[in-house]
Amino acid sequence: EQTDDLDELRPETPVTPMTATDIKVNVSLPQAAERGAATGADGVGLLRLEHLILGLEQTPTSYIEEHGENAFVNELVEGIQTVADEFYARPVRIRTLDAPTDEFRKLEGGESEPVEDNPMLGHRGIRRSLATETVFRYQLKAFQRLRSVGYDNVEIMFPLVNDADDVDTIMEIMADVGIDTAKTRWGVMIETPAAALQVESITDRPVDFVSFGTNDLTQYTLAVDRNNERVSDRFDETHDAVLTLITDVIEVCRAKDVDTSICGEAASKPTMIRQLIESGVTSLSVNIDAVRDTQHEVKRREQRLLLDSALAERSE
Ligand code: PEP
Ligand code: MG
């Protein structure tokens, strides 16, 4: 560990430092948008659509059966719009539905959800979306509607993809819904070792960015259930295996001009920040309460890099 002498220079009254790396915020519900925007973050790096959907307290299928497709799409449009307004013109990255079946089972209509032994390895993320395409298409429609009325700050991202085949299927459906992938900022999450190892072919597709979901990437890389307290001491996002996957992906992406981002809980951890800044990540997205500290930590790491390279030059 390097010494932290720059800490002494930190002002008593917090100021928002300008960082080369974008520091964004994770927003779960539209009600939190105002507070999120007030942090001065560079945008929303993760707006989880399942929070909007779980807020309806009914499974999507049951909600659509009762209220109709338009009502469902409208709910999504309104929720996203609140956030997109609050942040305009800062980018807002929405992520399609990613709740596991055990979450859905708690909702009205949840009894028709499958019972799975391993929900985290089951019907969730993009696999659920591609298997039950109707609900996926409604989410894309909501996104497309916002774009078509001028919300050019909304972006879309897809959870739990494994490989380029997933990306190809997503692109076909986006085109079918009328989303022009060339004019839309979109990307995929890197949350499985498979996706990390396949990043070369994934980024052969015209994705604008990839985003690390380190909660899942850690769980799947280390085979440690993220919700199981018995193994929680083994859940380590800064494990070498996880960091190696992340730095390798960033290297591939930088060579191909694909933005990289992180939106898992670990994004605000100093060890992770250090690794990411040294690897050249494009942006970080953290919880509302962590924005300010993350801005300072990133600034410190960026300055350290500049100093190191200046010193290296001088000693050449
Ligand atoms: C993650 O896996 O790190 C992530 C951001 O997605 P979620 O926590 O919603 O699975
Ligand atoms: Mg995840």
pLDDT digit string, tens, across residues 231-250: 999 999 999 999 999 999 99
Cβ(263) – ligand 1 distance below 6 Å: yes
Res 237: pLDDT: 98
Cβ(28) – ligand 1 distance below 6 Å: no
Cβ(22) – ligand 1 distance below 6 Å: no
Pocket residue to mutate for ligand 1, from 51, 160, 189, most atoms within 8 A of Cβ = 189
The residue ranges of the chain whose pLDDT is under 70 are: 1-15
Res 188: pLDDT: 98
pTM for the model stands at 0.93
For the stretch 106-148, pLDDT in tens is 999 999 999 999 999 999 999 999 999 999 999 999 999 999 9
Cβ(100) – ligand 1 distance below 6 Å: no
Residue ranges in the chain assigned as alpha helix (H) = 33-38, 49-54, 60-67, 69-87, 101-104, 125-131, 133-148, 164-177, 193-197, 199-202, 214-222, 240-255, 270-279, 291-314
Residue 48 C-alpha to ligand 2 middle, in angstroms? 10
For the stretch 154-173, pLDDT in tens is 999 999 999 999 999 999 99
